[in-house]
């Protein structure tokens, strides 16, 4: 497939620093399969733009902004526009924030100093496979699991949920970062059936996102070879 025929990913940049937005826009402008369709200075401005019908595939969302910051904006976006992928941006590598934001629905977490190609890769990966995991996100999620008796967003209310063999198989494939289409091919079912099973898994386990499902699988040792 030639680059000209690739599906173009629509992106919005939300950050209160105009120079940063301009820099990211310029960086992404050289990519033929990325199109920046809008910018906002804060979460409130973003929500107003979304209401007018300017709907991106991926949002680059800064955490610290005036009026309405990224932490407050993220759950609103996910509630009203669940199909939009959101990549959180920050100047600080805060592992506590990683676990909190990913349970709220964030699809990735990047520091603003990330290389341009990493930002591009994160956008493409989130668009195609829902999540982009890196060293920061992986370490944060693992550390969260190790911290016993620590209150937080990843508390699993349904740790005794009983899953079928098929559900466990699909969950394991999700943990291997397989896309819905790849899982469907492996299982021999339609992508729509896989998506329905994923929704059922969330209901059974009491989780809100795929990140929550992955943590549920790790915490309950569903990734072990012998169950």
Say yes or no: domain 157-219 is CATH 1.10.10.410. Answer: no
Closest CA to 108 of 45, 59, 166, 56: 59
What is the predicted pLDDT for the residue at 2?
44
Instruction: Confirm if 85 and 126 have CB atoms less than 8 A apart.
Output: yes
Nearest to 183 by CA among 208, 210, 205, 159: 210
Q: What is the pLDDT of residues 170-214, one digit of tens each?
A: 988 887 768 888 899 999 999 899 989 988 888 888 776 776 777
What beta strand segments (E) does the chain contain? 9-14, 34-40, 58-62, 85-90, 108-111
Q: How far is CA 3 from the centre of its chain?
A: 25
Domain definitions of the chain by residue range: 3-144, 157-219
* 30-54 confidence digits (pLDDT tens): 999 999 999 999 999 999 999 998 8
Domain 3-144: assigned CATH number: 3.40.50.2300
* CA distances (Å), origin 201, targets 9, 78, 81, 130: 28, 18, 21, 16
Tell me the residue ranges of DSSP E strands in 66-190. Answer: 85-90, 108-111
Q: What pLDDT is recorded for position 73? A: 94
Q: What is the mean pLDDT of residues 83-100?
A: 80
């Amino acid at each position: 497939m030639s680059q000209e025929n690739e599906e173009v990913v629509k992106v919005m940049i939300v950050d209160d620093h105009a120079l940063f937005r301009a820099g990211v826009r310029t960086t992404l402008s050289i990519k033929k399969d990325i199109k920046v369709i809008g910018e906002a200075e804060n979460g409130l401005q973003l929500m107003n733009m979304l209401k007018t019908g300017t709907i991106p595939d991926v949002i680059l969302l800064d955490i610290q902004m005036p009026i309405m910051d990224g932490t407050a904006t993220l759950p609103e976006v996910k509630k009203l526009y669940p199909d939009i992928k959101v990549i959180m941006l920050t100047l600080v590598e805060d592992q506590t924030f990683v676990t909190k934001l990913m349970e709220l629905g964030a699809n990735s977490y990047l520091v603003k100093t990330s290389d341009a190609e990493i930002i591009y890769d994160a956008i493409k990966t989130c668009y195609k496979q829902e999540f982009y995991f890196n060293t920061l996100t992986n370490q944060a999620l693992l550390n969260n699991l190790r911290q016993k008796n620590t209150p937080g967003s990843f508390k699993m209310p349904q740790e005794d949920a009983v899953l079928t063999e098929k559900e466990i198989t699909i969950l394991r494939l999700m943990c291997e970062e397989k896309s819905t289409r790849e899982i469907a091919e492996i299982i021999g079912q339609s992508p729509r059936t896989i998506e329905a099973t994923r929704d059922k898994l969330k209901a059974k386990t009491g989780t809100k996102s795929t990140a929550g499902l992955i943590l549920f699988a790790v915490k309950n040792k569903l990734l072990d070879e012998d169950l």
